Amino acid sequence: MPTTPSDIPAALDTAVKHSAFRRLWQQEDLNFLLTNRIPRIALTRAMGRFSRIRSPWLTRVSIALWRLFTDLDLSDARQQRFDSLQACFTRELRPGARPVDPDPQVLASPCDAIVGACGVARADQVYQAKGFPYSMRELFGPTQDSAVFEGGTWVTLRLTSAMYHRFHAPHDLTVEHVTYLSGDTWNVNPIALARVERLFCRNERAVIRGRLTQGGHPIALVPVAAVLVASIRLHFLDVLLHLRWPGPNEMPCQAPLTKGQEMGWFEHGSTILVFVPPGFALARGIAPGRRLRAGEPLMRLPTGA
């Protein structure tokens, strides 16, 4: 019997169970070659245009192909049918799908993520991978002072392409300033982080500076874009930061957010770096490789704060 267009997504979904695509994709040299030794910015712009095409059939086929390479799970999405890839990338979840830890001493994870490098900032240095340091000052850019986070705790949170892509306030806080820094779109997976020096400082990013309501502690969240992922929506500013963003690069604001309130989203998947000053401690079990969901404990506030 001839294959019809409606058969194709189902056939691809079946192929996932028996395909070698995912194992091939996980080979380090091939992965690095295909995701970095390409015209990254041009491909990222092209992916942005493609993801906005409204076609339910094309979207179904694209999602089925996507599943050849990832463990995409849409079971907790608010909707199950999408008219574009962008709608799937930026999907909302069912109410209650990401409960937020109510303990006021807990700084919650802002996103679904895999924990990467983490630790204490020393002499302006933090690490993207073992043996690959980078400078907080360079990451934050020339207009922002990172000294308040010296001796403090930092965590790398990597969002894979298959994960829920929205991110949320980790505590009650007020966002006071956003700095947008344009840049490259290197892949931010562990393979690239172990090969490309100062990768986070090279990529497009936003530095979100805020202050917790409890204790007045400063905090910084740095969403970093990556290949195919150069669009960051910040709801509290109602802007979409992307490779063609004309400015301004400095955006002061006074945006109060409650713990768990949505802050924005990535269009595909990337990384959020979290910085806090001395006195905070990583929550129990937080270590490289740990999978987290938005709202789960990430750090604990200083005792008595």
- Written as six digits, the tokens of 66 are 């996507």
Gap between the Cα atoms of 301 and 280, Å rounded? 5
Which residues, 6 or more positions from 265, have their beta carbon under 8 angstroms from its beta carbon? 90, 165, 166, 167, 232, 233
Q: Which residue in 167, 142, 146, 111 sits closest to 219, CA to CA?
A: 146
- Whether 112 is catalytic is yes
Residue written as tokens 């802050």? 263
Q: Is 19 a catalytic residue?
A: no
The Cα–Cα gap between 25 and 15 comes to 15
Q: Hey, what are 58's tokens?
A: 């094309």
Of these residues, 112, 165, 231, 268, which one is catalytic?
A: 112
What 3-state class would DSSP assign to 282? strand
Contacts of 215 (CB under 8 A, 6+ apart): 301, 302, 305
- Cα 194 from Cα 191, distance rounded (Å): 5
Active-site residue, 217 included: no
Three-class DSSP category at 161: coil
Pull the structure tokens for residue 253: 């604001």
Q: Pick the catalytic residue: 168, 171, 217, 242?
A: 168
Catalytic residue positions? 112, 168, 270
